[in-house]
Structure 1
Amino acid sequence: MLKWLGACATALLFAGVAGAQSQDDLLPVEQAFQVKASLAEPGRIALRIDIAPDYYLYRGRIKAKTAQDGLELGTLDLPPGIPEHDEFQGDVEIYRGSVAASLPYTLAQATSSASVTLTVQGCHEVDPKICYPPHPTTFTLDLPASATPAAAAAGAAPPASGLVNLGGAGGLVQGSAPLPPEQAFVFEAIALSPTRVLARWSMPKGYYLYRDKSDVAIAQGDGVVLGAPQWPKGTDHTDEHFGTVPVYFGEVELPLDLARDNGAAQAITLHAEYQGCQDDGLCYPVLQKDVVVNLPPANAAELAAAKASLAAPAAAPRRAVADA
């Protein structure tokens, strides 16, 4: 049973945690839940929370706020969590391992930085089972000198210097400003079965994805290994830097077989790295995104078949990503 320690017992928690650390190796809250922030693009902040083993975070207890004049925050974009029933909070969603999120913002006036406080709350799930009080982390991010309130409000893409011009002198034509990365290349993944995942990229008209510069690996998973990707045939495309290479327009689906050490239902985190371009020659830098996939339970026969399939020479295991 978890010992719920509310805000009114904060002083007792700190004293209890300090004593428990020497006896039970409980981590300080800032080490149990490590918050990282970066500017994904003008108008959007990228957030990542690394969660130590044997700890978890409540999805509904992750909050962002700011006290900075002229800075307004949008709705925090969090992936679905793992459904759990908590004896104190009822049905909740939690995260283990890591979670990636994004936070839109708008500026009412020009400014060189943005100050945001992200508050999280989570628990230690093995003895001693305790929950920490809400823990705030304040970070300040430098904003591009060219950022304006209008550009941030519109969620504009990074300035041209953040893209790679692969089209020679042509460049962008008037009225074809590149989309923000998350709109130009939408990445998602779902479980097709206990031992198969489907990854998907969707691109609007006028954008394409490089096959040979795109990859998916396991960022977090208990005894889970990905098999070789089963890329479909792409469209041959020639550019001055890479020569003739396969690319995808519109949408591409990538089935991924996986092997598992145990059949219990679990959430895994896929880490995707990918690169693509706009038709007129401007290419994005390598993009990264983490997606949580909930795997259903697997029986013994399914586990054995998956391991046998991945053990075949044609299906050598993929590398694992330790930290995005």
Structure 2
Amino acid sequence: FDAACLLNVAIEHRLMHAETLAYMLHRLPVGTLRGQPLRPSSSVIPPVAPSPPAMVAIPQGRLVLGESRDNAQAFGWDNEFPAHEVAVPAFAIDQHMVTNGQYLDFMIDGGYERAEFWLADDWAWRTSHDIRQPVFWRSDRGGWCLRAMHHELPLPLDWPVYVSHAEAQAYARWAGKALPTEAQWMRAAQGCDPLNAGPCNANFQNWDPEPVQTARQASDFGVAGLFGNGWEWTSSPFAPAEGFEAFPFYPGYSKDFFDGRHFVLKGGSPRTAACMLRPSFRNWFQPHYQHVYAGFRCVSVD
């Protein structure tokens, strides 16, 4: 491993922690933080009811997951290697991430009170911790507020909802759908170049999410907003590809989490650095962690 690889490891690892530390800022009392939007913020737009969810048909096909070790110019973490081809059957996927407004419909229909939508472990977590809404939401005089970075505001119905994997899976079951696998998500994202296709809500340009309909990028299939504005949960456990080799200078970075209890996230959030907006990048968290800037979209298979 050359000096360039080690330097990239040091830089990206620091940037990862800059994002995860931002999650904790939302737990400070409202008014503790002072700041101005880094660019004109969508938080000043009155919330509007989102459009009904539209789905995009993705034909069967093959794609390459991961990065090739033959590409000397490509930096990646050990879990991004080696490149391997997979076949993906046809499916349909939400054109946009699930919004706060769509998730609110799930809540109004008793989603947090109906065990049939939850896996047994997830239901036990929900009940033992009395989880009744997304962690960034707060009940307010019969309605809902959202804890943004610097203030609370009336729930923006057209922003992506940020939830845990368990909550995302429960919503998907309620909707009669599922979370995408990592391969399905990557297939839906084919043709989307997050670094060269125009701006997206990432790289510390904005404090908060934006309405999903404002996404400036789309894949070859027309799936929008795949990079930035919120990580996206998949149903795939975080696991190594065949031929995985741990970094000898950091052997536990990935390997310690190949335990079946962490799930892959793709894309990126407003607080994700541009260097990590590459399709091969894999984030991962446990299913009951609510604080990550993570949303989701659903898939259906005929």
| TM-score (normalizing by structure 2) | 0.24
Q: Which has the larger share of helix?
A: 2
Which structure has the bigger radius of gyration?
1
